[in-house]
Structure 1
Amino acid sequence: MSVSRTGASTIRAALRTASASSRSLSTSAVAARSSKALLSSRLGSHNADVPACKVGLARWMQSSARCSDAKGEAMSSPSAPLTSDVSKTGLYDFHIQHGGKMVPFGGYLMPLTYGDVGQVASHHHVRTHTGLFDVGHMVQHTFKGPGALKFLQHLTPASLGPMENFSSTLSVLLSEQGGILDDLIITKHAEDSFYVVTNAGCRTEDLAWFKKQLDQWTGDKVEHNVMEGWGLLALQGPTAAAVLTKLIPASFDLNTLTFGKSAFVPLRVDGQDVECHVARAGYTGEDGFEISIPPASTVALAEALVADSEVQLAGLAARDSLRLEAGMCLYGHDLDASVSPIEGALAWVVGKDRRAAADFLGAERVLRELKEGPPRRRVGLFVNGGIAREGAPLYTDDGKLVGRVTSGIPSPTTGRNIAMALVENGQHKKGTKLKVEIRKKLRDAEVAKLPFVENKFFRG
């Protein structure tokens, strides 16, 4: 999943004051930080890690007293009133109380980091224990009615018919030209009932697109509802299941909820059972859950989860490095309306039965590229000698421009500088040597297999 280009640009603009000395990531530095991160599992216990974390925050860290807008201009402090063009989730006050450093992101003020816990320490905590993310800025929808399945299959190349109830799939909203308008998660509750999550940064465009398509729809009835105010928490990490088990009835076995499956589960919150939609899913590459919560219970559930000694609050900074290591796309950067699912290395989201029917928007381009190959492809890169940021050009040894970087970070887990890029077809094979321009100097880059870090989804 993803955010708007504006949201990520906001954060990058706020972070460019990081010192030049913190723009490369050595393996030894990461190892040192990793050792420190493993010493404790509690929020606020990594204070000694902050200086070492500056490397990982060359992109993300900013002062605790100020936020920046998309142009890098000063905004009010995190506790100040919100402006008319930025919103907050139901956990805004919760974040402030827990030391959240708030930045505008996808149209919302969201936590970048918390207290004195650095991005790298937070990243490692999710890889070794459990992190709790507020993803309530994402847009939750329901599509119901006898025409819901065919309507969603008109807008996406997802194969929804054969899916079991309470199973989910990643898909993409496509334009008539076959470009990706947004990526989304579709969960099938029944043949006539679907739960869909789209990106906050695309909210206005997505809602307008759904309305346009519904107005033109001539099939069976479809009812579209936006679940305004509902909370959405992501509990991610190798101990996430053990944490969540403490809040669910003994009669429910989380082992039956494998990756991509979901269920309505009563969670024990403040002495009462609150029915939540629990999906085994996430954006980190770790085992974990995304929990949709009624508005009145969101804060109480967040408090109950963070009270567990395994759980540490995690913000946007860690979320970005975790998802990139896991090879997951960020909309507006790795994907946009010019990129097809085939170019985006997402050919697998095009169901086999959908290829035969060719009845979804943009099918002509998608099917052509499946057959003939796309003009460019999304790839992973290892980069030597610097951090390749979005937009950095890529060249062959003889100086031919063959692509551009779409996302890049110093990877806390691998100890290397990693990136994703769109490159010309033919330059996408693992081991291909390229040159990337960083600060007007050419650095060596090598095409790498995605993901950079093995995904650890629970499959039973």
Structure 2
Amino acid sequence: MTDTEFTGDEAAIDTATLPLDAWHRAKGGRMVEFAGYWMPIQYEGIMAEHLWVRENAGLFDVSHMGQLALSGDNVAEALETLLPGDIVGLKPGRMRYSLLLDEDGGILDDLMITNEGDQFGIVVNGAVKWEDIGHLRENLPDDITLNHNEDYGLLALQGPKAVDALARLVPEAASLVFMQAARAIWNGHAIGLSRSGYTGEDGFEISLPNEALEAFADALCAMAEVKPIGLGARDSLRLEAGLPLYGHDLTPAIDPVEADLGFAVSKRRREEENFPGAARILGHLEDGPPRKRVGLLVDGKLPVREGAKLFDGEDEIGVVTSGGFAPSVGAPIAMGYVPRDHAVAGTAIAAEVRGKLVHCTVTAMPFVPHNYIRKTGG
């Protein structure tokens, strides 16, 4: 989600608005088209908003995402025919990162799945939510019920002070740890919350009825530690955290091992070898993938953007899939795909920018440490 991936053309056809569209504009949000919606790219400025989240708490509107609920007999087993994770073993109140795979093991989307007790909740990317819904309905048994909760929006509160702010409104938030979820009541509204996010910081995602979004956002932003944050900072934060963006770092041409997401293929599923594309994926786990997603530290100050070709000497070896200036690092960074033998940290390569080669060094990700709260009190 670099700045080159947004358009500012408000004449775009069939661009939808979020429930909080007027709220964003009143707050000074600069609106751009993304994933079929008008969304705020920034309010005060990407750099300032990025650093605010790292030190305080930032409120993101991610209501463009698809919120799905699946229920029915053996729903977990049915989902395992499409995902490589251990869904059957996912306990109530727990959530897991997973991947929707095509029959060859290519990534159709990455998603978060939560065992809500009476159903499974899935949050999918906004740009492909309709394709995901179609794929699920086509491939799941007819007795599995799939509901698309369009009457609910999704907010993300991220940063080290997020828990203090959110707990004033929803006390249950303080008892959750990373990748736990719960239901709660706020002002008479049933809401869902999880301790998760897309910034590398501690934080929460909160699902609320559309009619409650504005009052909840106002209540949070009335707190000194909370400010609204746009898509620009969301992208630079997730890039520093080494988190991939679907449609850029992840596509159907890429499998989980190539994407450095092998952890999403659970141990039991590896042993059973019964998920989509198992032969390809297990082969890559065993022998190594032909290419791999890596982090790149960029020499100098010139940002390396998506689409830049990567070279070893005169040989073109790969491509950048995300890149930009990293405010917390103080330098440009990128991620992209290179052959397996170039994926070792410390390997020197180059990226082509405006006809010139810029020196880069392959590095481990994340670029800044994750600050997830994995146990109570720490």
The TM-score bracket by the shorter chain reads over 0.9
User: What is the one-letter code of the residue matched to 1:75?
Assistant: E
Matched, 1:389 2:305: yes
| Equivalent runs, 1:286-301 vs 2, <5 Å | 286-301=201-216
Does 2:45 align with 1:129? no
Residues 3-28 of structure 1: per-residue CA shift (max 9 Å, x gap): xxxxx58x5166xxxxxxxxxxxxxx
Structure 2: how far apart are the matches of 1:436 and 1:195?
A: 40
Query: What CA distance in whole angstroms lies between the structure 2 residues aligned with 1:266 and 1:248?
Result: 8
Verify the 8 A CA contact 2:325 2:333 in the aligned structure 1.
yes
Conservation of the 8 A alpha-carbon contact between 1:159 and 1:351: yes
**Cα 1:380–1:201, aligned 2, differ >3 Å: closer, same or farther?**
same
Match of 1:204 in 2: 130
SS at match of 1:151: helix
Q: Superposed, which structure 2 residues align to 1:399-410 within 5 Å?
A: 399-410=314-325
Partner of 2:369: 454
Counterpart CA distance in 2 for 1:273 and 1:258 is 25
Q: Which residue of 2 aligns with 1:284?
A: 199
Question: What TM-score do you get using the length of structure 2 for normalisation?
Answer: 0.96
Q: Which amino acid aligns with 1:263?
A: A
Q: Secondary structure at the match of 1:289?
A: strand
Conserved in 1, the CA contact under 8 Å of 2:167 and 2:174?
no
Query: Structure 1-normalised TM-score?
Result: 0.79
| Structure 2 equivalent of residue 303 of structure 1 | 218
Aligned to 2:131, the other structure's residue is in SS state helix
Aligned residue pairs, count: 374
Q: Which residue of 2 aligns with 1:259?
A: 178
Give, as a single letter, the amino acid of the residue that structure 2 aligns with 1:12: T
Residues 270-320 of structure 1 deviation map (CA, whole Å, 9 limit, x = unaligned): xx3432101000000110000000122111111111111110100000000
Distance 1:255 1:248, change over 3 A: closer
Residue 255 of structure 1 and its aligned partner are, at CA, apart by 4.0
Aligned to 1:169, the other structure's residue is in SS state strand
Q: Which residue of 2 aligns with 1:105?
A: 34
Is contact 2:59–2:227 with CA below 8 Å preserved after alignment? yes
Partner of 1:153: 80
Is 2:162 the partner of 1:240?
A: yes
Which shows bigger deviation, 314-323 or 435-444?
435-444
> Deviations for 1:165-203, whole angstroms, at most 9, x for unmatched residues?
11111111000011000000000123x620000011002
Which amino acid is 1:132 matched to?
A: L
CA contact (8 A) 1:390 1:407 kept: yes
Is residue 23 of structure 2 the alignment partner of residue 94 of structure 1?
yes
Superposed CA deviations along residues 331-370 of structure 1, whole A, max 9, x for unmatched, are 1111101000000000000000001111111112111111
Partner amino acid, structure 1, of 2:369: E
The question of 1:181 aligning with 2:108 is answered yes
**1:321 matched residue in structure 2:** 236
**What's the secondary structure of 2:150's corresponding residue?**
coil
Q: What is the match of residue 70 of structure 2? A: 143
- Residue of structure 2 aligned with 1:167, choices 94, 97, 107: 94
Aligned to 2:121: 195
Q: Is the 8 A contact 1:90 1:229 kept in 2?
A: no
Give the counterpart letter for 1:389 in structure 2: R
Decide whether the 8 Å contact of 2:15 with 2:38 is kept in 1. yes
Give yes or no for contact 1:230–1:294 (8 Å, CA) kept in 2: yes
1:370-419 Cα shifts (integer Å, max 9, x gaps) = 1111110000000113211111111113x222111111111100111100
Runs of at least 4 residues off by over 2 Å? 272-275
Identity of aligned residues (%): 41
2:4 maps to what in 1? 12
Please give the per-residue CA displacement for 1:93-135, whole angstroms capped at 9, x wherever unaligned: 1111111111110011000111xx1110000000000000000
The whole-number CA distance in structure 1 between the counterparts of 2:86 and 2:5 is 40
> 2:263 and 2:175 mapped to 1: Cα distance?
25
1:426 aligned residue (311, 317, 341): 341
Q: Is the CA contact (8 Å cut-off) linking 1:431 and 1:447 kept in structure 2?
A: yes
Q: Distance in 1 between matches of 2:90 and 2:130?
A: 29
1:359-398 → structure 2 map (5 Å cutoff): 359-385=274-300, 386-397=302-313
- Larger Rg over CA atoms: 1
Q: Structure 2, unaligned stretches of length 5 or more?
A: none
Deviations 1:68-93 (A, max 9, x none): 3xxxxx325xxxxxx65211111111
- Measured in 2, the distance between the counterparts of 1:222 and 1:173 equals 17
Letter in 1 for 2:203: G
Contact kept in structure 1, 2:19 and 2:153, CA below 8 Å = yes
CA distance in 2, matches of 1:421, 1:12: 16
Q: Report the 3-state secondary structure (helix = DSSP H, G, I; strand = E; otherwise coil) of the residue aligned with 1:379.
A: strand
Judge conservation of contact 1:411–1:418 (CA < 8 Å) in 2: yes
Q: Which amino acid aligns with 1:91?
A: L
Higher share of residues assigned strand: 2
Q: Which runs of 5+ in 1 are unaligned?
A: 1-7, 15-66, 69-73, 77-82
- Contact 2:10/2:32 (<8 A) preserved: no
* Matched ranges for 1:14-29 at <5 A: none
What is the CA-CA distance between 1:248 and the residue it aligns to?
Answer: 2.4
